[in-house]
Amino acid sequence: MTNETIIRARYAETDQMGIIYHANYFIWFEIGRTEFFRQLSMDYKELEEKDILLPVIDVGCKYVQSAKYDDEVIIRTKLSTLKGVRVTFEYEVIRKEDNELLAKGYTIHAFVTKELKPANLRKKLPEVWEALEGSIEK
């Protein structure tokens, strides 16, 4: 399953040249990931209420072209790996107007409790594990 979320690049996200500041792509990844969970009828708040947190433990981004102020961009998000206490999401940021790839990246997260101890999601919330596992594109 791939989630597509469309946002419009805001002026506050640009640098002095009118180009989206590089760190904002990581915020866009978070937007895509949040919407990915919503598409599965879940959200972070619900997971946190069930004592599951998903801190980022690794992140990367390859910038291909610049996004600019007022561009509409599509954030494509998919879950690529679900193993043990880790989950990996992959992202593509695409300019909607011309379908050009602007950036691609990933985030790796750990399932942990509020005490930051590793959490076995398969045992703790099997229905969530199954939904995530079923969303992986083969």
Whether the CB-CB separation of 119 and 69 falls below 8 Å is answered with no
pLDDT-above-90 percentage for the chain:
91
Whether the CB-CB separation of 52 and 119 falls below 8 Å is answered with yes
pLDDT in tens, 87-129: 999 999 999 999 999 999 999 999 999 999 999 999 999 999 9
Taking the model in full, what pTM does it have?
0.93
Would 136 be classed as within a structural domain?
no
Catalytic residues: 15
Residue 114 CA: distances (Å) to CA of 105, 118, 127: 27, 10, 20
**In CATH, what number is assigned to the domain containing residue 97?**
3.10.129.10
Would 135 be classed as within a structural domain?
no
Element (H, E) at 106: strand 100-110
pLDDT in tens, 59-95: 999 999 999 999 999 999 999 999 999 999 999 999 9
Element (H, E) at 102: strand 100-110
In a 10 Å sphere around its CB, with 0-12 CB exposed, 13-18 middle and 19+ buried, how is residue 111 labelled? Answer: buried
Q: Which domain holds residue 114?
A: 2-130
Would 138 be classed as within a structural domain?
no
The count of structural domains within the chain is 1
Geometric angle at alpha carbon 31, from 9 and 38, rounded to 5°? 135
